[in-house]
Amino acid sequence: MFERPGKGQGDGAPEKERALLIQVDFGREAVGESLEELQLLATSAGAEVAETLIVRRSAPDPATYIGKGKVQDIAALVSTYQASLVIFNHELSPGQERNLEKAMACRVIDRTSLILDIFAQRAKSAEGKLQVELAQLEHLATRLVRGWTHLERQRGGIGLRGPGETQLETDRRLLGIRVKYLKERLVKLSKQRGVQRRARARREVLSVSLVGYTNAGKSTLFNVLTKAGVYAADQLFATLDTTSRKVWLAEAGSVVVSDTVGFIRDLPHSLVEAFKATLEATADADLLLHVVDSASPVRDEQIAEVNKVLEEIGALGVPQILVLNKTDLTGLPAAVERDECGRIRHVRLSAKMGEGLDLLRSALAEFARDKSRGGAGGPTSDGESTADAADINASSPK
């Protein structure tokens, strides 16, 4: 198996890795947008994309995912481009990963490993780092062949021969101890968050969480609403750590607004599990502002992916307002749209240009008033927010 570089190896800043990106087309989905997203993920992780390849197959090959012939073709390209990394936009089994690395003589990672690496780079808070490390270790548990090379190998000798702990067993035991410790720390942090949420509930402070697909503009919207100065950039997973700020609305009083981690297609289950302590704030919110990149040609699929994760964390039943962001790219005016019962369906705005923010503040104030009166006329939730996709399509240019 190809020897992986250890943590901390080398001096100075790490060199940018040249990577080949592989997308397998099974004829069941549009691969163009998926491959474009993989390129954004790779560049967000710091890779230099040398070439992108689409491989067509009817089904995955059990040994190498793409078949022996394609493996040889890609191995030749690895040599031609002097690439040090091959990234698959799919989930590979440990066996497939090892076989591909052996044939291509370079590191091979799948989509899950790539996303985990980006999360590891972006986590800033102590809790965020714990959550990412837990997800990485649980992913590593299935890939322990020649894993923790800093551990001394068990060797036999006079008086030492016989049954003993192998390197793999040692790795698994140490990994298990670390995973248990991380889970215990995260449980304590989750309890602390619970105390804070109960205190806000006693003060009857409205809790609003921003959710949405990564790079939809959540952090930009959060900054213009709260003046928080949270890092925002045109890249995937620019921010990971949940940030909460209090906003004063003239008609509704104080509102706590939280910016959460962005979601993405095929978000690794281990990450969802690890970030559950953070995402509990979403499930316990009074209202979700579901931020959508209205200029994206695949916004309907992105809305569906976000709702899929919300369902997984038990937040799909929380009332939602769809915030159709980036109207500066679609050319549509800022507006509030309602259903036949007068309930808010979605708000169109541009967080970057500051257009439509007054409409969003008015929508929040209206929700707060309705909630205090017992919930009449509030925004739609779960199924109705996905059902609005047809109306979004009708009002937004492709």
- Give the other-Cβ count within 10 Å of 363's Cβ: 21
**Residue 99 — pLDDT band, cuts 50, 70, 90?**
very high
What single string gives the DSSP state of each residue in 93-140?
A: PHHHHHHHHHHHTSEEE-HHHHHHHHHHHH--SHHHHHHHHHHHHHHH
Longest dimension (CA), the chain: 85
**Vertex 377, ends 376 and 383: CA angle to 5°?**
105
Residue 141 has pLDDT above 70, yes or no: yes
- Tell me the C-alpha distance between 139 and 200, whole Å: 36
pLDDT at residue 186, as a whole number: 82
- Tell me the C-alpha distance between 398 and 329, whole Å: 11
pTM over 0.85: no
The separation between the first and the last C-alpha atoms of the chain, rounded to the nearest angstrom, is 46
**Residue 144 — pLDDT band, cuts 50, 70, 90?**
low
Query: Which range, 141-155, 300-314, 382-396, has the best average confidence (pLDDT)?
Result: 300-314
pLDDT at residue 12, as a whole number: 47
The pLDDT of 7-35, averaged and rounded, is 75
pLDDT tens-digit readout, 42-51: 998 889 999 9
Bridge pairing between strands 85-88 and 107-109: parallel
Contact 46, 120 (CB under 8 A): no
- Which one, of 294, 317, 384, lies nearest residue 344 by Cα? 384
pLDDT tens-digit readout, 182-216: 889 888 877 877 776 666 666 677 889 999 998 89
Which residues, including other chains, have CB under 8 Å from residue 394's CB and lie 6 or more apart?
none
pLDDT tens-digit readout, 337-350: 998 888 898 999 99
What single string gives the DSSP state of each residue in 254-315?
A: EEEEEE-PPB-TT--HHHHHHTHHHHHHHHT-SEEEEEEETT-TTHHHHHHHHHHHHHHTT-
